[in-house]
A = this chain, B = another copy of it.
Amino acid sequence: VPKFLVNKDGSLGARNDAPCVSIEHKLGIKASPTAVLQFGDHGGAVGYLVGQENRGLEYMFIMMNAARYGVGLQGVAIAERAYQKAVQYAKDRVQSRPVDGSINASAAIIHHPDVKRMLMTMRAYTEGCRAMASTAVAAYDAAHHHPDAQVRKDNATFYEFMVPLVKGYSTEMSLEVTSLGVQVHGGMGFIEETGAAQYYRDAKILTIYEGTTAIQANDLVGRKTARDGGQSARAIATQIEKTEGELQASGTPAALAMARRLAAARQAYLDVVDFVCGGAKASPNAVFAGSVPYLMLAGNLVAGWQLGRSLLVAQDLLQKGQDEAFMRAKIATAQFYAEHILVKAPGLRDSIVEGAESVTALALDSF
């Protein structure tokens, strides 16, 4: 539906009957205007068929599937930016003495353990989700360009399983990360001039557009898990178990902490996969009641798995003396993820597997 009708000689003709009647006032992403268009109030808007008839939905999904991955990355990007801004502020802003007495005067707030906890949470989510997105997109490349047909097929399956996790988990975590970003700034964060609040406002659209978190979770439950009886889902658990073995073999405290938390999260995930595959047809309400928590558990696990892999690489390179500060930071961040984010997985399992009925128990007119 063009704004102007184009004459046969290529020159602009009359305006099309599709005027913009207002611009929406939105919570965020204000650099991307959202308009109300009115079609055909004065004789009818003229549109042109693009492509073949009745294939519009299919065409849209080509765009949509790429967009889902892209929106997941937007989550990672805004989280990274919120983190950088919060770190800068935490290093500048001076307030109170450190609790351990290490500085006998007011110090930059980054010296306070809770500020570190907030920054580490932001950092760990961001690195975990970025690693997950990178692994997914590498599989996408292999799915299209690897010479071996079986490898292409396996990678396509893996990538498709990853898309709802990259979209759903990375955007949900961006809400927590951008909220923590405001929190690190304290009262200044609530002032728009500071810039931290914009991330908090902008991030909220990411869990909504190109398929809400619930739509991603439906995709994960239906097309990605139940349809092949959990085969793709369990194949990922097998890969994770292999990484756990490598972490165990390495034997460092960070690797052992990661192995232990990965094993508990993987077991929780497998319980949920069994629950989803067992009940998708017989008890659809119970399964879909846990669809978003399942997505959160799976995303939490897979992002943690990638940080487990990066921990192993960082340990190797550290031993070789390469980029020591960077490698130590990778290891510290992975261990933090294991102990503060992966630990949420067993609780999610309980909610999904044992708490399905209470989601739908309330009578409709009691809401």
Binding site for B on A (CB under 8 A): 24-28, 34, 87, 90-91, 99-101, 110, 112-117, 119-120, 123, 175, 179, 182-183, 186-187, 189-193, 197, 200-201, 204-205, 207-209, 212-214, 217, 257, 284-286, 288-289, 291-293, 325-326, 328-329, 332-333, 335-336, 338-340, 343-347, 350-351, 354-355, 358-367
Contact = CB atoms under 8 A, between A and B. Distances in A.
Contacts of A114: 214, 217, 288-289, 291-292
A30 B204 CA distance: 20
Contacts of A87: 367
A126 to B, nearest CB: 12
Main SS class of interface, A: helix
Contacts of A189: 27, 204, 208
Given A289-B116, A358-B335, A26 B217 contact: no
Given A187-B209, A200-B204, A340-B351, 17 more contacts: A27-B197, A27-B201, A34-B191, A87-B367, A99-B285, A113-B285, A115-B214, A117-B359, A120-B358, A179-B204, A183-B212, A325-B365, A332-B362, A339-B351, A339-B358, A343-B350, A347-B347
Contact of A361 (B183, B336, B344): B336
Contacts of A91: 367
Number of identical monomers bound together in the oligomeric complex: 2
B344 A358 contact: no
Given A183-B212, A204-B200, A346-B347, A367 B110 contact: yes
Nearest to A329: B366
A113 B111 CA distance: 44
B204 A113 contact: no
A49 B119 CA distance: 41
A186 B182 CA distance: 24
A15 B328 CA distance: 60
The 9 closest A-B pairs by CB, nearest first: A339-B355, A27-B197, A329-B366, A113-B289, A336-B358, A99-B284, A113-B288, A114-B214, A332-B361
A217 B257 CA distance: 26
10 contacts: A24-B192, A28-B190, A110-B367, A113-B288, A117-B293, A117-B359, A340-B358, A343-B350, A343-B355, A344-B347
A315 B292 CA distance: 31
A88 B186 CA distance: 33
Given A25-B192, A91-B367, A182-B204, A339 B354 contact: yes
